[in-house]
Structure formats: C-alpha cells, structure tokens
C-alpha cells in the first residue's frame, strides 16, 4: 500500500511539472509571436492595430440608424490610395447614452472612430468579451467588402465600457468581423484569451461564449449584422 501511495504521489508531481512546463512553454511561444507581430499587443485600439500592421487607418460609416442605435462601419487601410477593408464593425449603442458620454457620442455619430474618439475625450476602454469564434453563412456583401471568398470569418463580440476616474459607463456592444489578411483565429487568441469563456459546439465552429445567457445576445448581434449588410447604399 505504501508503495502504491508513493507511486501515485510521484505520478501526480510529474503530471503537475509537465502541465507547468507546457503552460510556460505556451506563454513563451505567445510572447515570441507578439514580439514578431506588434499589432497583437494587448491594450491597443483597433485603429492602432490596423495602422501598426498596414501603415494606415481610416473609418467609413457604411450605414447608421440612430433610432435603432446601430452603426455599421468599415475599418480600412489604404493600398495605392484604395481602401482595403480590414474589419467590419457592427455597433449597438446603449439606450439611453449616459450624459457624460454625449460629447464623444456626438463625434462618433459624425463618423469618428469609437476607440480613438473615447480616448480623445479622456476615457479608457474596458472590453467584456462574450463571444469569440467564427461566423459563417454571412451575406455576399461581406465577401465583397473583404475581397475574400472565405466561408467563415474570425469574429469577436464584446461589451464596451468607457471608464474615467470613478465612472464605469456601459456604451455599446460591438461585433468585429476580421479580414483573413488581418487577424486569424490563432492571432485573436493572443489578444483575447479564453479566460471566462466556454467552448461551444454547433454551426459556429471554434467558438467560445461567456455563458449560456450570452446566446440570445450573440444571435441578436448576428441578426443586426446581417440586416445592416443587406441595406443598399
């Protein structure tokens, strides 16, 4: 019996060491990847990520419904003076908007970049991710904007909280759909870990959600996105 207990103890210790070594190796590999690709660093605004990778950034509002509180935007870089879509972003604003956010909100409605505009007005940003995965069965217009024939697109959804001093103000939820030339699923994993997220199975592959109550919100955002993409400009 003593020999068995010693064996089990030895086995457990070996397993713990193996897991610890594997975790450390993964962190080291991630650090190398981020060092080689600075646009994957944590804490960057999306405008900063795009500019770091492609050398330029711009935002174009494709459609906006102030009554529904929805905006569809094209986050792009330029190549030979042509706009190249890097992110399609669907924003659903809180209703009502906190008065402390109204100045920034007015500028954003006028076409400003959300992250950059909030930062300019003295706010820092906190993101609460509730979906990370791949979207499929998207409207053809998305393929056209992306210049891609991909059947799925790496996507993240999060609640954006604007923070200043003691204020923590919910501002909007954002769905970001990434061009394959910009962010892959593996790269998205380096920016947003799976901490607090749970893997799900189904039509949406390689997907993680915050909790089961997020499912309704995810489907609503997907519906808003598809509806906005179908609007003729």
Q: What pLDDT does residue 5 have?
A: 46
pLDDT at 25 over 60: no
| pTM of structure | 0.81
pLDDT of 209 > 70? The answer is yes
Residue 28 shares a structural domain with residue 49: no
Give pLDDT tens digits for 97-127: 999 999 999 999 999 999 999 999 999 999 9
Round to whole Å and give the CA distance between 118 and 219: 27
Residue-wise pLDDT for 138-182, tens only, equals 888 998 888 888 778 999 999 999 999 999 999 999 999 999 999
Domain that holds residue 129: 44-230
One domain, residues 98 and 10: no
**Co-location of 56 and 28 in the same domain:** no
**Residue 51 shares a structural domain with residue 28:** no
Q: Are residues 138 and 27 in the same domain?
A: no
Sorting pLDDT into bands at 50, 70 and 90, what band is 17? Answer: very low
Strands 70-79 and 167-178, bridge-based pairing: unpaired
Q: Are residues 72 and 163 located together in one domain of the fold?
A: yes
Report the chain's mean pLDDT, rounded to a whole number.
Answer: 83
Distance CA 149, CA 157 (A): 22
The widest CA-to-CA distance across the chain, in whole angstroms, is 77
Q: Which pLDDT score is estimated for 149?
A: 80
Is 22 in the same domain as 84?
Answer: no
3 state SS of 200:
strand
Q: Do residues 120 and 179 share a domain?
A: yes
The H or E element spanning position 16 is: helix 2-36
**Dihedral angle sign, alpha carbons of residues 59, 188, 177, 139:** positive
Q: Are residues 22 and 94 in the same domain?
A: no
Q: What CATH number should be reported for the domain holding residue 107?
A: 3.40.1410.10
- If one counts the domains in the chain, the total is 2
Left (φ > 0), alpha (ψ -120 to 50) or beta: where does 230 sit? alpha
The per-residue pLDDT for 110 is: 94
The verdict on 31 and 70 lying in the same domain is no
d(CA 123, CA 8): 53
Strand partners, 153: 135
Q: Are residues 102 and 3 in the same domain?
A: no
CA distance 205 to 207: 5
Bridge partners, residue 131, by sequence: 157, 209
Do 167 and 186 fall into the same domain?
yes
Closest CA to 135 of 221, 196, 47: 221
């Amino acid at each position: 019996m003593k020999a068995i207990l010693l064996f089990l103890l030895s086995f457990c210790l070996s397993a713990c060491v193996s897991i610890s070594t594997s975790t450390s190796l993964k962190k080291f590999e991630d650090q190398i990847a981020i060092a080689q690709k600075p646009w994957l660093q944590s804490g960057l605004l999306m405008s900063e990520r795009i500019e770091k990778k492609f050398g330029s950034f711009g935002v174009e509002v494709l459609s906006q419904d102030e009554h529904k509180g929805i905006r569809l935007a094209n986050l792009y870089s330029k190549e030979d003076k042509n706009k190249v879509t890097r992110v399609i972003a669907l924003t659903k604003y809180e209703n009502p908007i906190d008065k402390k956010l109204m100045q920034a909100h007015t500028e954003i409605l006028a076409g400003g970049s959300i992250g950059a505009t909030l930062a300019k007005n003295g706010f820092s940003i906190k993101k609460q991710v509730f979906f990370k995965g791949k979207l499929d069965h998207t409207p053809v217009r998305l393929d056209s904007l992306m210049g891609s024939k991909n059947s799925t697109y790496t996507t993240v959804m999060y609640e954006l909280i604007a923070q200043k001093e003691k204020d923590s103000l919910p501002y909007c939820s954002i769905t970001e759909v990434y061009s394959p030339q910009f962010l892959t699923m593996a790269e998205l994993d380096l920016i947003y870990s799976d901490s607090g997220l749970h893997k799900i199975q189904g039509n949406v592959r390689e997907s993680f959600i915050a909790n089961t109550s997020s499912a309704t919100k995810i489907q609503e955002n997907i519906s808003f996105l598809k509806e906005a993409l179908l609007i003729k400009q």
